[in-house]
Structure 1
């Protein structure tokens, strides 16, 4: 109940709908009550006019006792009698007798209770000097009056719910641009910082849109400065590391003891790891910058180029690496991004696959997307770590391989920008070993639709 109250207070649309509904109900209630009372009074007035007309018709006529005017219904009868005629009568009203009215009644309309019934009575003095009474049962009169009044307010009872529905629908349509705007912003990735279009936004919301656009511009400048700093720092550090690498190579030609040679080998390994980290930082900065144009590219051609570069690394560990099948697919992506994506995945597969293992690459079409698959016979990634491995500088626990922890972060940055999806699984689900990476990318001829695909196919 408290949650519902909080949601109600937090929703301007609901508060506006509720306020308008309460106002409409209050106005309808007052108007309906006023109409009902007015119609009720008017119906009673018309019924009193009927008694006056009957009295006018009876003026000048001789009334021995009583006359009952009715139309097949005892409750609708009108009784015309001489005043005082029913004081000593033994015949009841229902049997056609007079109403026992006293002689002292004044002229005019009045409501009297006679016995167990209530009558509306009109007393008049005729032109001949006789006093007559025209009476009608009040219960029937009230029933007719209430029915007439209810028919008057019936349109209110029908139209008020319709009006409430119309108001709720109008309020919902008025807030539809805001809902659409929120959905548009929510669907954006962290790389999409372009301004929000405010042409079709209501004037009351436009200041917020302008403020959000200014914030997006500041965030974009900040992220661009951060990427530029990373790229510049990595580029500037390349030269000192290259110089250190050359000096270490020259030092290796000198006569040194075994311990010095061992330490020099560790130094060269550290320098190489630093150079690798700088290359990965530059690749991450390029992947996040999104400056290269997206063009149709063959997945098989990317596989061949990556295998040509990484084949020596695979041969050094006697790993059987190759492409399964001959099916190809054209995807819309930057060539540099595509090569970086596949290269990082294959490089990780080779590094984490033990000697004599296997790394397979394949591609197939599924619905309207291309499915890239890279699987190995390494230890795999535990399910609880499959989300964390895409974070920058994160490395799985127990890993003995040297690395920077940026390879999958680069893959994630490229995948998010091109609108692809990635899934990690074990290559061998029974033994819980090996890693299978599946990437679903829009085909080149379908990329304009910007569709997303279900990775659970």
Structure 2
């Protein structure tokens, strides 16, 4: 009983297309089987009826031509022909003159048989016998072996059913293909919805959707219409709250800087340094929250492509003081450039967060290299450092907001890679990690693969490396 319930539940939760196809195929098979059986039996009966007509015609000819069934015509048979195919004629009441039917003798028929058709078992074999009274008053019998008649009737019936048996597989394939094509718009709609990001809450196009699915699409559009304002309100709240909090934190930072110039004891100055670091950390957190809110917000497509080299230079101008403070050798490798169709703010935020992480997690006197290349229709942005890298077990979680790698001594909020992931998802880019996956290797290489129209297929590595600080 439990197994039956499981099968029923699995069938109830299955594909409508699969169930419809299976139902139609079973119905066609059932109808074809019933039609085939009816056609077979009908053709089989018609063949027997024709064979009975042959016996009637033979008896009629014998009556009109006054042929004697007791002479050579009635008992003789062709030794070279098919013995089963012979038609035997004899006069009723005559005793058999030979041992039996198998040796070519006459049929042992009773003289009391009524006129008409009979199916009799004679000498262990079945015969179809027609009894007739001639115009001269004699009673004659014309017979044929039933096995031969059945074989002919069966062959005729099979020839009648054969076209149906050949066309049923074609019909099954045609129905399955028709059902698959009918459900193709639904599958295309599902793929279109599945490819959407969480920011794409615009209504679904229902122009090419079947009428049976259109109410469902309309309901989804109404739900998206209710969800979109709520999501936008949450994003605006985060952005507005972050913006409003920046002013008091800036004021606190200024007050802390003024207080640092005042005379105070050593312990007080140490506590002031801790306070300044906390204020700076809060300011960085607010900046990243604002960047994340912008990254998650949908933006209009860019009007023109951007130069990756130009984005690299702008990011280095902003982060060069941090790199110099940590004595990090940072620069751009090579002169290879790529043009990407991405918003300027998105590209700056994406590259800046990656470079900022590379600088912060690379030990002092380390190295951070930026490069770009083209490979198989993608612009490949590469940021490589000489830091500790990210363990393989941690790489699946580093994109979670506020998650930080265990054992890290750097002060951060854990939002940098979450922002990178949000931007990459929206622009259709792919993020890859390399290096730093085990205890023996050091450094981390982050690659961002951005689709580029008409990009050369082979990878072009940076030419003439010129590390610019």
**TM-score, normalising length: structure 2:** 0.90
Secondary structure of the structure 1 residue equivalent to 2:197: coil
Change (3 A) 1:292 1:147: closer
Residue 428 of structure 2, aligned match among 419, 423, 435: 419
Secondary structure of the structure 1 residue equivalent to 2:398: helix
Per the alignment, residue 378 of structure 1 pairs with 387
**CA offsets, 1:229-254, max 9 Å, x none?**
11000011111111212222222233
Residue 22 of structure 2, aligned match among 10, 18, 23: 18
Give the deviation of 1:221 after TM superposition: 2.0
Per the alignment, residue 198 of structure 1 pairs with 206
Aligned partners of 2:97 and 2:76: how far apart in 1?
A: 19
Give the 5 Å matches for 1:311-322. Answer: 311-322=320-331
Residue 433 of structure 1, aligned match among 434, 442, 451: 442
Residue 70 of structure 2, aligned match among 65, 72, 83: 65
Aligned partners of 1:253 and 1:292: how far apart in 2?
A: 48
8 Å contact from structure 2 (residues 354, 417) kept in 1: yes
Aligned residue-pair number: 448
Does residue 252 of structure 2 align to residue 244 of structure 1?
yes
Give the deviation of 1:415 after TM superposition: 0.9
8 Å contact from structure 2 (residues 387, 444) kept in 1: yes
Per the alignment, residue 53 of structure 1 pairs with 57
Secondary structure of the structure 1 residue equivalent to 2:90: strand
Change (3 A) 1:219 1:68: farther
Give the deviation of 1:298 after TM superposition: 0.8
Does residue 146 of structure 2 align to residue 142 of structure 1?
no
Change (3 A) 1:376 1:261: same
**CA offsets, 1:58-108, max 9 Å, x none?**
1151526141476722111111221122x2413533444321212111211
Change (3 A) 1:395 1:62: closer
8 Å contact from structure 1 (residues 370, 440) kept in 2: yes
8 Å contact from structure 2 (residues 131, 142) kept in 1: yes
Give the deviation of 1:336 after TM superposition: 1.4
**TM-score, normalising length: structure 1:** 0.92
The range that moved more, 56-65 or 394-403, is 56-65
Aligned partners of 2:243 and 2:151: how far apart in 1?
A: 97
8 Å contact from structure 2 (residues 326, 365) kept in 1: yes
Give the 5 Å matches for 1:175-214. Answer: 175-214=183-222
Secondary structure of the structure 2 residue equivalent to 1:44: helix
Q: Which has the higher relative contact order, 1 or 2, with Cα contacts under 8 A spaced 6 or more apart?
A: 2
Gaps of 5+ in 2: 460-469
Does residue 197 of structure 2 align to residue 215 of structure 1?
no
Aligned partners of 1:100 and 1:167: how far apart in 2?
A: 58
Change (3 A) 1:64 1:43: closer
Change (3 A) 1:282 1:391: same
Per the alignment, residue 277 of structure 2 pairs with 269
The range that moved more, 260-269 or 412-421, is 260-269
Give the deviation of 1:210 after TM superposition: 1.2
**CA offsets, 1:327-377, max 9 Å, x none?**
111111111111111111111111111111111111111121111111111
Give the deviation of 1:38 after TM superposition: 1.7
Does residue 452 of structure 2 align to residue 443 of structure 1?
yes
Gaps of 5+ in 1: 447-452
Secondary structure of the structure 2 residue equivalent to 1:41: helix
Give the 5 Å matches for 1:258-337. Answer: 258-291=266-299, 293-294=301-302, 295-337=304-346
Secondary structure of the structure 2 residue equivalent to 1:385: coil
Aligned partners of 1:403 and 1:345: how far apart in 2?
A: 13
Across the aligned residues of Structure 1 and Structure 2, the Cα RMSD in angstroms comes to 2.3
Give the deviation of 1:314 after TM superposition: 1.0
**CA offsets, 1:241-278, max 9 Å, x none?**
11212222222233222222221221122111111111
Aligned partners of 1:35 and 1:189: how far apart in 2?
A: 59
Per the alignment, residue 356 of structure 1 pairs with 365
**CA offsets, 1:8-61, max 9 Å, x none?**
441111211121122222222222222222222211111111111111111151
Does residue 38 of structure 2 align to residue 34 of structure 1?
yes
Secondary structure of the structure 1 residue equivalent to 2:407: coil
Aligned partners of 2:269 and 2:43: how far apart in 1?
A: 113
Give the 5 Å matches for 1:383-422. Answer: 383-422=392-431
Give the deviation of 1:443 after TM superposition: 2.3
Secondary structure of the structure 2 residue equivalent to 1:203: coil
